[in-house]
Structure 1
Amino acid sequence: MLNISPNKLNQKVDLHRFNSARKVFHRKHYKHLNRFLLVFAGIMMIVLFLPWTQTISGKGFLTTLKPDQRPQTIQSPIPGRIERWYVREGDFVKKGDTILHISEIKNEYFDPQLVERTGQQIQAKSLSVNSYQEKVKALNNQIEALTKEQGLKLTQARNKLMQARLKVQSDSIDLEAAKTNITIANRQYDRVVQLEGEGLKPVTSVEEKRLKLQEAQAKLISQQNKLLASKNEVINAEIEINRVRAEYTDKISKAQSEKFTAESNRFDTEAQVTKLQNEQSNYEIRNEMYYIKAPQNGFINKAIRAGVGETFKEGEQLVGIMPSDYEMAVETFVEPIDLPLIHIGEKVRIQFDGWPVIIFSGWPNVSYGTYGGEVVAIETFISNNGKYRILVAPDPDDHAWPEDLRVGSGANTLALLEDVPIWFELWRQLNGFPPNYYQPLDDSKTADKK
Structure 2
Amino acid sequence: MLNISNNVLNKKVDLSVYKSTQRVFHKRHYKYFNGFLMGSAIFFIVVLFLPWTQNVRGKGALTTLKPDQRPQTIQSPIPGRIEKWYVQEGDFVNKGDTILFISDIKNEYFDPKLVERTGDQIQAKEMSVVSYEGKVKALNNQIAALATERTLKLEQAKNKLLQSKLKVKSDSIDYIASKTNLDIAERQFKRTEQLQEEGLKAVTDVEEKRLKLQETQAKLIAQENKLLTSRNDILNATMEINRIQAEYTDKISKAQSDMYTAQSGQYDSRAQVTKLENQYTNYEMRNSMYYIKAPQSGYVNKVLQAGIGETFKEGDKLVGIMPETYDKAVEIYITPLDLPLMHKGEKARIQFDGWPAIVFSGWPNASYGTYSGVIIAIETFISPNGKYRVLLAQDPDDKPWPEQLRVGSGANAIALLEDVPIWYELWRQLNGFPPNYYQPETTINKDKK
Using the size of structure 1 for normalisation, the TM-score is: 0.91
Structure 2, unaligned stretches of length 5 or more?
Answer: none
Distance 1:32 1:262 in 2: 121
Q: Single out whichever of 222-231 and 321-330 deviates more from structure 2.
A: 222-231
- Show CA shifts across 1:355-405 (max 9, x none): 111111111111111111111111121111111111111111110001111
Give the match for residue 111 of structure 2: 111
| Counterpart secondary structure, 1:336 | coil
Counterpart of 2:159 in structure 1 is 159
SS at match of 2:369: coil
The secondary structure found in structure 2 opposite 1:47 is helix
The residue that corresponds to 1:328 in the other structure is 328
Segment drifting more, 353-362 vs 239-248: 239-248
Does residue 129 (structure 1) correspond to residue 129 (structure 2)? The answer is: yes
The separation in 2 between residues aligned to 1:445 and 1:291, in whole angstroms, is 57
- Identity within the alignment, %: 68
- The aligned amino acid for 1:385 is N
Deviations 1:30-61 (A, max 9, x none): 44343333333332332222222121111111
2:401 partner SS: coil
Q: Is the 8 A contact 1:103 1:290 kept in 2?
A: yes
Name the CA distance, whole Å, in 2 between partners of 1:395 and 1:171: 120
Moved over 6 A (4+): 444-447
SS of the aligned residue for 2:376 comes to strand
Partner of 1:72: 72
Q: Distance in 2 between matches of 1:150 and 1:9?
A: 160
Q: CA distance change for structure 1 residues 208 and 422 in 2, over 3 Å: closer, same or farther?
A: farther
Cα 1:171/1:98, change in 2 over 3 Å = same
SS of structure 1 residue aligned to 2:411:
strand
CA contact (8 A) 1:80 1:103 kept: yes
Letter in 2 for 1:131: S
Instruction: Write the letter of the residue equivalent to 1:402.
Output: P
Structure 1, unaligned runs of 5 or more: none
Contact 1:343 1:446 in 2 (8 A): no
Q: CA deviation digits over 1:124-178, x for unaligned, max 9?
A: 2222222222222222222222221121111111111111111122222223333
2:342 is the alignment partner of 1:342: yes
- Check 1:197–1:87 CA distance in 2 against 1; reply closer, same or farther (3 A cut): same
Q: Which residue is equivalent to 1:12?
A: 9
What amino acid is aligned across from residue 268 of structure 2 in structure 1? D
Query: 1:377 aligns to what SS in structure 2?
Result: strand
Matched residue SS, 1:321: strand
Structure 2 equivalent of residue 234 of structure 1: 234
Q: Distance in 1 between matches of 2:27 and 2:115?
A: 109
Matched, 1:413 2:413: yes
Residue 384 (str. 1) matches residue 372 (str. 2)? no
Q: Superposition RMSD on alpha carbons, in Å?
A: 2.5
Q: 1:178 to 1:42 in 2, by over 3 A?
A: farther
User: Closer, same or farther in 2 for the Cα pair 1:21/1:292, shift >3 Å?
Assistant: farther
Please give the per-residue CA displacement for 1:56-108, whole angstroms capped at 9, x wherever unaligned: 11111111111111111111111111111111111111111111111221222
Give how far 1:297 is off.
1.0
Structure 1 range deviating more: 248-257 or 321-330: 248-257
Cα distance per residue 1:343-365 (max 9 Å; x no partner): 22111111111111111111111
Equivalent AA in structure 2 for residue 125 of structure 1: K
Q: How does 1:119-268 map onto structure 2 within 5 Å? A: 119-196=119-196, 200-268=200-268
Task: Report what 1:273 is aligned to.
Answer: 273
Look up the SS of the partner of 1:356 in the other structure.
coil
Shift of 1:23: 2.9
Residues 1:202 and 1:61: Cα distance change in structure 2 (over 3 Å): same
Q: Give the whole-Å Cα distance in 1 for the aligned partners of 2:181 and 2:204.
A: 21
Q: Is the 8 A contact 1:171 1:226 kept in 2?
A: yes
| Aligned residue in 1 for 2:318 | 318
Report Cα offsets for 1:262-320 as digits up to 9, x if no partner: 22212222222222222222222212211111111111111111011111111111111
Distance 2:97 2:173 in 1: 106
Structure 1 SS opposite 2:337: helix
Whether contact under 8 Å (1:75, 1:316) holds in the other structure is yes
Supply the distance in 2 between the matched residues of 1:108 and 1:9 (Cα, whole angstroms).
118
> In the aligned structure 2, how far is the partner of 1:268 from the partner of 1:9?
132
Q: Which amino acid aligns with 1:220?
A: L
Counterpart CA distance in 1 for 2:204 and 2:76 is: 129
- What letter is aligned with 2:338? D
CA distance in 1, matches of 2:94, 2:309: 26
Count of matched residue pairs: 444
DSSP 3-state at the match of 1:322 = strand
Q: Residue by residue, what CA displacement relative to the aligned partner does 1:176-197 show, whole Å, maximum 9, x if unpaired?
A: 3333333444444444455555
Could you report, residue by residue, the CA deviation over 1:224-263 in whole angstroms, capped at 9, with x for unpaired residues? Answer: 2222211221121122112222222222222222222222
